[in-house]
Structure 1
Amino acid sequence: MAPASKTQGEQSKEGMGSHVGLPALDLSAAFPQATPASVFPPLVSDYYQFGDLLSSEEKALRKRIREVMEKEIAPIMTEYWEKAEFPFHAIPKLASLHVAGGTIKGYGCPGLSITGSAIATAEMARVDASCSTFILVHSSLAMLTIALCGSEEQKQKYLPSLAELHTVACWVAGGWLLDGQKRWIGNSTFADVLIIFARNTNTNEINGFIVKKGTPGLKVTKIENKIGLRIVQNGDILMNKVFVPEEDRLPGVNSFQDTNKVLAVSRIMVSWQPIGIVMGVFDICHRYLKERKQFGAPLASFQINQEKLVRMLGNIQAMLLVGWRLCKLYESGKMTTGHASLAKAWISSRARETVALGRELMGGNGILSDFLVAKAFCDLEPIYTYEGTYEINSLVTAREITGIASFKPAVLSKASRL
């Protein structure tokens, strides 16, 4: 019989101030056949060799981002996701990717193709959806608004610093400039610059403004207790008589249609987030099923597991090609609002299905954030909803193909008196 030793609880009681309860296991050591996502697997989800469709520049960009995300972000993402904190020390690593500013040319921005920017979004989301959302809000919403709608002076003043991530921006739509409120704004708790869209009460049209952090009357508080994109710092924004000088009004924003210049690009990027997420989930599941054994055989040898894995793979190939075609339609000037809405709705719906299959394949480990799948399962929920819900995006496309808008319910006829 092995000699008896004090329990962890008894040892904790003796040591004043020491941690109560069992310490966390090093999963890779305790279960050598279950490598956690902190050691990211190689990409095996590009079954139809989608990479062959990319230019040499886009391939080099994809490789660079993949290396940084796997080596620098993967080891820390679970810890910060669990704490719902942003890893500010990782910002220089994200800045080194040189993707902030996306398709913007000049002003220190990378001038990527829309396909390159989409690939960058997917590669970040493959490892961590929150990091891709951080860049998307900062770049494809805030920076792009300044680039498309700002004056030359505003572009020179703000874009170079934003491109290097020396300053961080967020994007806010709705409310009145001086007195208003908006929820769920990513990056807003620490953003240096806020891009505000507000309705002008004199013209009843939308105007855009650059509001600086610390402006009197501006208050931002963090939204707590989220189950998805926990690393992203979403905020409640309150504006009480916030004064913005004329020089910080965006001259190119004078109607809601002007905001669509920005939303057209951001909707493409949001469509590529689920693509990256499911690629990462597949890569994790593929490794896991080959590593883990049951009854002396790897889980990958069981027929039902193989069928689910192939169903996931099929979904990913279709999602990739829809996303790629959407980029090409945009680049050729043929993309419509309906095209973008269908892509966002359909891709996010297929991603939900694919991640759910991955969660089934992982068994009990499928609910641990250490293995990415549970984390991705939760992160997809806000992505499924933002930039238009599945239903709204479906109705936008349906309006385009039928010529009939069905957003408002039919007016009920008045009941006559008996």
Structure 2
Amino acid sequence: MWDLLSQPEQSAVGRLRAALDQHVRPVVNEYWERGEFPEQIVDPLIEADLMDPVELKEAGVQPSGLYAGFRNFELARVDASVATFYNAQSGLFRTTVNLGGSPEQVAALDPQITSYQYKGVFALTEPEHGSDIAGGLETSARAAQREGRSGWLITGAKRWIGGAAQADVLAVFARDEADAQVKCFLVPTDAPGVEITKITGKTSLRIMQNADISLQEVWVDDSARLVKINSFADVASCLRNLRSDVAWIATGAMAGAYEAALRYTTERTQFGKPLAGFQLIQEKLAHMLSNVTASLALVTRLTQQQQAGNYKDENSALAKMFTARMLRETVALAREVCGGNGILLDNDVARFHADAEAIYSYEGTHEINSLIVARAVTGISAFR
């Protein structure tokens, strides 16, 4: 799959690998155990200029979908939380602005997003609504006037919003009281009425700082509304794009777990020879590698189709469903071949094993994605 990238894209991904090895890999286990985000890794990731890399500018080409996919793959190969953090800006937030904003909004904001001058997160999920968010979304938006300006008052709550405390703005999805349609607003995190609280006690993605958000009569100017998002169908078009990002993250985490297990089993000696020399261990390593390879082939082909303009809910749902399931299986095998030491952070496998559980559920649970796929196959919706 690597050979499908152009030479400038390979060069940019290579720079990312070097930055991850130097700045991220040495600290992730410590910060995972502490449940904190290593702020010192942010500047090196920004300086790596990954969203619009210099190699592609010099070649006069735009970053391809495959480049963006391999960027997520490499990030997740080192740590799923770091990949999720970076993708919150490069994927979730940027996609929402680029698909939901007017040409003027996109022209003004996208350069600031790619340079990290304007940091944002995607705020859709609510305390009582995850899988049923399409019909259950309760956060409300009411048109209002303030000091002669048109704007909106937003009230509600959001949950599981990753990176909210580190962001400048929240892309808040709220239901317009006038027409009951879902719309999107860019809400500054320091606006009066916004309260952000870190979610504690997590056993997965502990580096990623997820938050509860309370919004009480929060005023935003009318210019803060992304004008192309006027219904949940428009939100769904964003999610269709974003599920492929998560499938790449799942595949990268899978590769990271496999590589950690391979490293451990070739170094660990039992009964006078490396663990990797035993038939049962070799079968599991081959099984893990087949999962990684099949998943990488699937997300590569999905991305090629999307690059050609072929976006289908069932395709991205299938990719997310399959890769997350293969991730779960792969990390379990990786933990297994490491024996008791597989639960130690020092060997990396334990972190991938725990983080897989969050990836399995976010951006559409296995069950919801299965229903999207089966609806396309049968022509019958089982959601209601």
Fold in common (TM above 0.5): yes
Residue 44 of structure 2 is aligned to residue 68 of structure 1: no
Q: Distance in 2 between matches of 1:234 and 1:375?
A: 17
- One-letter code aligned to 1:176: S
Q: Distance in 1 between matches of 2:48 and 2:10?
A: 14
Residue 229 of structure 2 aligns to a residue in which SS?
coil
Asked if the contact 2:264–2:347 (Cα under 8 Å) also holds between the matched residues in 1, the reply is no
Pick aligned residue for 2:373 from 397, 403, 412: 397
* Unaligned stretches of 5+ residues in structure 1: 1-49, 409-418
Counterpart of 1:19?
none
Counterpart of 1:97?
48
Q: Give percent identity, aligned residues only.
A: 40
Pick aligned residue for 1:328 from 304, 308, 323: 304
Q: Distance in 1 between matches of 2:293 and 2:113?
A: 34
Deviation larger for 320-329 or 155-164: 155-164
Pick aligned residue for 1:313 from 280, 289, 302: 289
Counterpart of 2:313?
337
Q: Distance in 1 between matches of 2:342 and 2:49?
A: 34
CA deviation string 1:106-145 (max 9, x = no partner)? 9xxx942111111100100000111110111112111221
Residue 71 of structure 1 deviates from its aligned partner by: 1.8
TM-score by length of 2: 0.88
Counterpart of 1:43?
none
Asked if the contact 2:119–2:167 (Cα under 8 Å) also holds between the matched residues in 1, the reply is yes
Residue 328 of structure 1 deviates from its aligned partner by: 1.0
CA deviation string 1:246-279 (max 9, x = no partner)? 1111111111122233212211100011110111
Residue 54 of structure 1 deviates from its aligned partner by: 2.6
Pick aligned residue for 2:73 from 116, 122, 142: 122
- One-letter code aligned to 1:296: G
Residue 397 of structure 1 deviates from its aligned partner by: 0.5
Q: Distance in 2 between matches of 1:86 and 1:298?
A: 35
Residue 156 of structure 1 deviates from its aligned partner by: 4.4
Aligned pair count?
Answer: 354
The correspondence of residues 17-416 of structure 1 with structure 2, limited to 5 A, is: 50-100=1-51, 111-173=62-124, 174=137, 175-177=139-141, 178-408=154-384
Asked if the contact 1:228–1:380 (Cα under 8 Å) also holds between the matched residues in 2, the reply is yes
Distance verdict in 2 for CA 1:166–1:83, change over 3 Å: farther
Deviation larger for 328-337 or 301-310: 328-337
Q: Distance in 2 between matches of 1:403 and 1:101?
A: 40
Q: Distance in 2 between matches of 1:352 and 1:58?
A: 29
Distance verdict in 2 for CA 1:166–1:368, change over 3 Å: farther
Q: Distance in 1 between matches of 2:272 and 2:253?
A: 31
Q: Which has the higher Rg, Structure 1 or Structure 2?
A: 1
Asked if the contact 1:101–1:140 (Cα under 8 Å) also holds between the matched residues in 2, the reply is no
- One-letter code aligned to 2:289: L
Higher helix share: 2
Q: Distance in 1 between matches of 2:80 and 2:261?
A: 17
- One-letter code aligned to 1:310: A
CA deviation string 1:30-56 (max 9, x = no partner)? xxxxxxxxxxxxxxxxxxxx3223332
Residue 330 of structure 1 aligns to a residue in which SS?
helix
- One-letter code aligned to 2:91: S
Q: Distance in 1 between matches of 2:51 and 2:10?
A: 18
Residue 189 of structure 1 aligns to a residue in which SS?
helix
Residue 152 of structure 1 deviates from its aligned partner by: 4.2
- One-letter code aligned to 2:140: W
Asked if the contact 1:100–1:135 (Cα under 8 Å) also holds between the matched residues in 2, the reply is no
Residue 172 of structure 1 deviates from its aligned partner by: 0.9
- One-letter code aligned to 2:96: T
Residue 75 of structure 1 aligns to a residue in which SS?
coil
CA deviation string 1:202-260 (max 9, x = no partner)? 11111111111210111110000111111111000111101111111111111112223
Asked if the contact 1:140–1:262 (Cα under 8 Å) also holds between the matched residues in 2, the reply is no
- One-letter code aligned to 1:147: N
Asked if the contact 1:193–1:213 (Cα under 8 Å) also holds between the matched residues in 2, the reply is yes
Asked if the contact 1:101–1:139 (Cα under 8 Å) also holds between the matched residues in 2, the reply is no
Residue 282 of structure 2 aligns to a residue in which SS?
helix
TM-score by length of 1: 0.81
Asked if the contact 1:100–1:138 (Cα under 8 Å) also holds between the matched residues in 2, the reply is no
Q: Distance in 2 between matches of 1:96 and 1:370?
A: 28
- One-letter code aligned to 1:84: G
